[in-house]
Amino acid sequence: MTPSSLGIWLMMGAAGLLTFLTRFSFIALLGRVNAPVWLTRLLSFVPPAVLTAIIVQGVLIQNGALIHSVANPKLLAAMIAGGVAWRTKNALLTIAVGMAALLILSAVL
Amino acid sequence: MPPKIPSKGNEFWNGTRDELPILLGAMPFGVIFGVLAMQSGQLSQAQAQAMSAVIFAGSAQFIAAKLLADHAAVVVIVLTVLVVNLRHMLYSASLAPLVKHLNIGWKVLLAYLLTDESYAVGITRYTQPDSLQPGSNAHWYFFGSGLTLWAAWQLSTAFGVFIGTQISQDVLSLLEFALPLTFIALVVPNLKNVGSIVAAIVSGSAILLVSGLPFNSGLLVAGIIGIATGFIADGFIRRRTS
């Protein structure tokens, strides 16, 4: 199902408004409501959960199907990048090494 | 005598200057977003550019472009963008007491400009004690850093939109890999407690099972399952150790 141009604008408006509300939430409420501790705890798990799902999707799934081969250059490059991220905590280096690894492994495998 | 209060202009330009190194990391992603948005085949140039102004959130825009290319339902795209952006509530809670005294216009402006990259730089100003004294112009620092990132994001998107359809398939698949790589760089160094590790492992496993769900809702479902399990595991550990 392909959204119409109007559908795209509506999607963008709704997504933009909701995104703004996440940013405005406590700034708007403060003075009256402080962020409850349970909520800040819950929200702290949003990045590891959501971003990891996106990582796994980008590395292991192609056209909706799981890539079964172990000789998957994206999987190996992602593992190398994960090692660099763990050791150096340097985002640019992680991305650069991951890209280089994918280029080399795609040529070799 | 209290220390001299830096002027609005001083604060603004300091914020701008301190944001510059961050642009090195952010601008390539603006370009890549512009390319992916055009390659999705679903967006006009104006729509791709407008997305950077209306949503103004890199990871969410990447996901939206990808879901559009996969012909996902509009409702699923909106909900997925919401879940990906929920983390902004954390920044909002952290910034709220510091901007409490400002008028509503300032609060709306700073909230609109609140991103991972502007929060990271802007909050450093508020760790300095003089930012909290009466009459401080520290919010101009936040405005300077946020506006700098905003302008760089719009420009880099425009460049990506411009070159968007001329990119070859090989370069495109390499560019697409920048997304998981960026998230690896964000997630891996922060896997420092049991809850986060559980959240990552559970949602990373769940996506393999639910990626075929209708309307491309797999990411949404896997994300929510991961957040909930991380929260429960964290609560369990806290009860055990307290």
Q: What is the pLDDT of residue B228?
A: 96
User: pLDDT at position B133, please?
Assistant: 82
Q: What is the ipTM of this complex?
A: 0.86
Contact B206, B226 (CB under 8 A): yes
Question: For the segment B179-201, what is each residue's pLDDT rounded down to a tens digit?
Answer: 889 889 888 988 989 999 999 99
Residue (of B144, B125, B132, B137) closest to B12 by Cα position? B144
Are B19 and B118 in contact by the 8 Å Cβ rule? The answer is yes
CA A27 – CA B146 distance, rounded (Å): 16
At B226 the pLDDT is 95
What is the torsion angle, in degrees rounded to the nearest 10, for the CA atoms of residue B31, residue B26, residue B191 and residue B199?
Answer: -50
pLDDT at A81: 96
Please check the confidence at residue A85 and state whether its pLDDT lies above 70.
yes
- B121: closest CA among B214, B44, B191, B23? B23
CA nearest B54: which of A53, A63, A9?
Answer: A9
Q: Which residues of chain B have pLDDT under 70?
A: 1-3
Q: Using CA atoms, how far apart are residues B102 and A53, in angstroms rounded to an integer?
A: 38
SS3 call for B56: coil
Do the chains contact at B174 and A99, CB–CB below 8 Å? yes
Instruction: Please tell me chain A's helix, strand, coil percentages from 3-state DSSP, rounded to the nearest 5.
Output: 75, 5, 20
* Chain A residues near residue B47 by CB distance under 8 angstroms: 5, 8-9, 12
Cβ-defined contact of B184 to A81 (cutoff 8 Å): yes
- State residue A14's pLDDT score: 97
**Residues 30-89 (A) with a CB less than 8 A from some CB of B:** 30-31, 34-35, 39-61, 64, 66, 74, 77-78, 81-82, 85-86, 89
Residue where the block lists tokens 């070859």: B168
In this prediction the pTM is 0.83
Q: Which of B190, B217, B170, B211 is nearest to B74 (CA)?
A: B217
Q: Which of A26, A48, A102 sits opposite B190 (nearest CB)?
A: A48
The alpha-carbon gap from B195 to the nearest alpha carbon of chain A, in Å, equals: 7
Q: CB A23 to CB B92 under 8 A?
A: yes
CA distance B167 to B160: 10
pLDDT in tens, A1-17: 456 788 899 999 999 99
Residues B164, B169, B174, B175: what is their CA dihedral angle, to the nearest 10 degrees?
A: 10
